[in-house]
Structure 1
């Protein structure tokens, strides 16, 4: 595949979305009528890459984490020690440079992973009042690949101030700033809503493929490295596997030889009251 642009921007009356080639990350998602940024960003998000790096991938991921929405393949979190080749923290796909192309109101991102025999084809599209992310994971090899998969959208933390958060399985508490924490939730049933002061968000996904939901809260609550009490983000992350996945495999999703596993995640955004005037 030939090299594409470093970033693709899409715009509708409701949303502006920008997709980076690095990790196929959704770097920016703006609600146009209110000008509100929906995804979290860190103070160092736009810093240029430099030669310095930390020796372990978890430390380096957190040192340079820019926010936004990543796809984590073929593993979320730390890789099992016994799996070869070694995976970087949150999986190879989030570290690779993908090939981007714009196709109408969509951005297509593609990458061939090298640690597992998979091609990932991801299409980010603007739809009515929202965003749709379609991902296809294809196995080119003659052996079954067993992987984990998580979607990693990190939302701007202040959207959750005085908000009501509900999943398909019940309510979900998000503590106000300053606070921090992580929960691995079962039974979210493939949907959640955030009813805030300015915006209402509705996230939906395939609960059979992603039966779990990681809830990461970094609301200026960690004073040391890497956040220094400067980051306000809430990650609501559909996942195929528990975060503490047993160490004998990357995950529970089996991709048979020649087979393709597909996912669709949608995010609908609605302005509330005077915020849309």
Structure 2
């Protein structure tokens, strides 16, 4: 018998894609096993605030690109609905690793994941999602859990090298925020001692160029042309696109305030970088067309956004030995 109280779980489809919703008295979280295990809803029920950003284009089935000529360049962005994705084993731009061509943010975000219910009681609900990559010999698995009475989603994820060879990967949590949660003037808090590594080039033509050569202490970064940019304040709409990388975390956590407060915790020994990306409406060409107002705060293993091969070259890529499994624990909580 289905429950409509305490912790509960529903399975169904959204736009033809397998979906599962975990809900309790305070949260409703919807995950898409049919598309990368994406989190497409993180609704704080007392304030009716959804924390994840959804693109104006909405949800599209990533399998549709297989009906024509396969696109190895941009399947992620062409089918990007916003929300929260696992990025693995390539982060950022298309890249080639040991003969395997990897698309932008490929591979797992575009694949269907298997889903199994592992807990379904009034006290807690949880599902296990799993997938194997197609071009590299990896298996990924994550258990997503919601306990009664809490406003926190708990995740335990595993990445396993199923080969007898040592391999590299970039593993990231592509978490982005937007309306109705994200608001100009909101604040971003990080642990003391975190430093900022600027990206060498702007994200889009005409974007603000952050001076290379850091790191600088959080939260202020010198910018070309003088003056300072305070990265701890959510910018106004219309500011240029940008990305920086934050590192030096003794503890992996950040808090961002908007309509409510939100805290994300993760294992910074495994994901030592936090990519901070903003697209605030200044990009008037592909893919945003001036429609986006979003900030991403994305824990990552490896940098920059130039792809896996670049992270291997600069020594920031994750290394997995033969048959090794890496385990990542995360917690995402509304702190209103």
Q: TM-score range by the shorter chain?
A: 0.7 to 0.9
SS in 1 for 2:144: strand
**Equivalent residue for 1:119?**
139
Kindly report the root-mean-square deviation, in angstroms, between the aligned alpha carbons of the 2 structures. 2.4
**Equivalent residue for 2:327?**
262
**Equivalent residue for 1:13?**
25
Aligned structure 1 segments of 4 or more residues deviating by more than 6 angstroms: 52-55
Moved more, 149-158 or 129-138: 149-158
1:133-212 aligned within 5 A: 133-157=155-179, 158-168=181-191, 169=194, 170-171=218-219, 172-179=232-239, 180-189=241-250, 190-196=252-258, 198-212=259-273
Structure number with the bigger relative contact order (C-alpha 8 A, sep ≥ 6) is: 1
Residues 82 and 161 of structure 1: CA distance in aligned 2, closer, same or farther (over 3 Å): same
User: Contact (CA 8 Å) 1:82, 1:247: kept in 2 or not?
Assistant: no
The count of residues paired between Structure 1 and Structure 2 equals 267
Query: Is 1:230 the equivalent of 2:291?
Result: yes
Measured after TM superposition, the shift of residue 58 of structure 1 is: 4.0
**Equivalent residue for 1:25?**
38
Q: TM-score, normalised by structure 2?
A: 0.73
Partners in 1 of 2:50 and 2:36 — Cα distance? 20
Measured after TM superposition, the shift of residue 270 of structure 1 is: 2.4
Residues 155 and 58 of structure 1: CA distance in aligned 2, closer, same or farther (over 3 Å): farther
**Equivalent residue for 1:77?**
92
SS in 2 for 1:86: strand
**Equivalent residue for 1:34?**
47
**Equivalent residue for 1:247?**
310
User: Contact (CA 8 Å) 1:159, 1:199: kept in 2 or not?
Assistant: no
Larger Rg: 2
**What are the ranges of 5 or more consecutive residues in structure 2 without an aligned counterpart?**
1-11, 195-217, 220-231
**What are the ranges of 5 or more consecutive residues in structure 1 without an aligned counterpart?**
272-277
Post-superposition CA distance 1:107-144 (Å, at most 9, x none):
21100112221111111112422111210112222112
Measured after TM superposition, the shift of residue 82 of structure 1 is: 5.3
